[in-house]
Amino acid sequence: MTSNPETQRTADRSSFVLDLLAVVTGWKSMEEGWMFGPSQSHRIWRMMNALIDARPEWADRDIFEADRDKILRYGTSIGLSMEELFRVTDPDAVLSLWAAAEAAGAED
C-alpha cells in the first residue's frame, strides 16, 4: 500500500509544529514528563501553523531559532519581560515583534 504524499506532508508538518512548541515556549516535551493541556496545545499548534504559513522559512528549525532569539532580544530591549514575551500567542503580535526586531536591526 502506498502512502499519500499530502497526508505524509501534513503528518510531518504536525510533528514539526509540535517540536517547535517546545522550542517556542521553552516547555518540556511529553517524553520529559510535561504534557500540554488540550486547549493550550491546540491554541499553540494553531499559532505555529499561522506563523509558518506567514513565514515559511520558519519551518526550518535553525532559521526559526535565530529569529526567535532576535524577537526575544528585541522584546526585552523595549521593556518586555521574558514572561510577557512567552505569553504572546497571537501570530500577528509575534510577526509584529519580528518585523520591529528586523527594522531595529536594519537601523543598527
pLDDT in tens, 33-84: 455 545 567 777 888 899 999 999 999 989 999 999 999 999 999 999 998 9
Whole-structure pTM value: 0.61
Note down the domain range covering 98: 5-25+34-107
pLDDT in the model for residue 88: 87
Residue 3's pLDDT band (boundaries 50, 70, 90)?
Answer: low
> For residue 64, how far is the Cα from the chain centroid?
7
Summarised one tens digit per residue, pLDDT across range 90-105 is 899 999 999 999 999 8
Count structural domains, the chain.
1
Q: Where are the alpha helices (DSSP H) in the chain?
A: 5-25, 38-54, 61-77, 82-86, 91-107
**CA–CA distance, 19 with 11 (Å, rounded to integer):** 12
